[in-house]
């Protein structure tokens, strides 16, 4: 792992964004861990979060990007924070775009916030977490309805390393279905590996009991290529 990836895991714990227990995902799966990017709420947190996304985007996609698209609602602050970080860290003057859940019929009408999407624009979608790929199937038609643009990739904070609608990892499935690159700041294998060996605030967070529960979860939902 790169240093900023290890820092990001600690950052999620500090904000209680990464938690362990009993949860249910949007796709209905019972899970022993949960990532809630909605808990990033302070200026300091959003600044740091944008920087982690920016480092990943710069590493994985380079600088030939026109727009960051953040699906409503959590993707909106993610796209804005990351655009700022890309400019401050790399001098990349990338625009942000996001969708509304409801089409606005007065004032600045339409379904989009931020920059309009134009023919030829290179777009990277930015999300918090993808479990079964549900959100991206809702997002792609919105983007493609705007212009003849090139969606070059998707970046999420954490790859949960689970099956999508089939046997492939959800991010691999998205990459295959839409023919673009998918990546994450960290994946759950990296999270588990770090937290079962390195104490956080003097405590090993992933003990043998929790590790067994996580293993059982992946026996059921883990993608074959990434178990």
Catalytic residues, by residue number, are 104, 106
Q: Helix (H, G, I), strand (E, B), or coil: what is residue 34?
A: strand
Question: How buried is residue 203: exposed, middle or buried, by Cβ count under 10 Å (0-12/13-18/19+)?
Answer: exposed
| Residue 27, phi then psi, degrees to nearest 5 | -85, 0
Separation of alpha carbons 19 and 12, rounded Å: 9
Structure tokens at 206: 């992933």
Q: CA distances (Å), 36 to each of 10, 14, 29, 40, 153, in order?
A: 14, 13, 15, 8, 22
User: Which run of H or E residues covers position 213?
Assistant: helix 208-221
Helix axes 43-61, 75-90, angle to 10 degrees: 70
Q: Helix (H, G, I), strand (E, B), or coil: what is residue 167?
A: coil
Separation of alpha carbons 135 and 129, rounded Å: 10
Structure tokens at 56: 């990943």
């Amino acid at each position: 792992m790169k240093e900023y990836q290890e820092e990001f895991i600690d950052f999620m714990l500090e904000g209680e964004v990464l938690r362990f227990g009993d949860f249910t995902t949007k796709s209905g799966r019972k899970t022993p861990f949960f990532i809630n990017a909605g808990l990033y709420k302070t200026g300091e947190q959003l600044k740091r979060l944008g920087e982690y996304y920016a480092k990943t985007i710069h590493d994985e996609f380079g600088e030939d990007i026109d727009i960051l698209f953040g699906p409503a609602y959590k993707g909106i602050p993610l796209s804005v924070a990351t655009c700022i970080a890309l400019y401050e860290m790399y001098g990349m003057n990338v625009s942000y775009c996001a969708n509304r859940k409801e089409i606005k019929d007065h004032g600045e009408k339409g379904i989009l916030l931020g920059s309009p999407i134009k023919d030829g624009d290179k777009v990277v979608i930015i999300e918090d977490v993808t479990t079964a790929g549900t959100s991206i199937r809702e997002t792609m038609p919105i983007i493609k309805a705007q212009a003849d643009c090139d969606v070059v990739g998707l970046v999420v904070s954490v790859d949960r390393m689970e099956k999508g609608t089939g046997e492939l990892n959800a991010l691999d499935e998205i990459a295959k279905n839409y023919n673009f690159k998918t990546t994450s700041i960290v994946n759950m294998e990296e999270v588990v590996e770090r937290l079962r060996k390195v104490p956080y605030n003097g405590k090993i967070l992933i003990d043998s009991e929790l590790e067994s529960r996580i293993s059982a979860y992946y026996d059921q939902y883990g993608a074959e290529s990434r178990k």
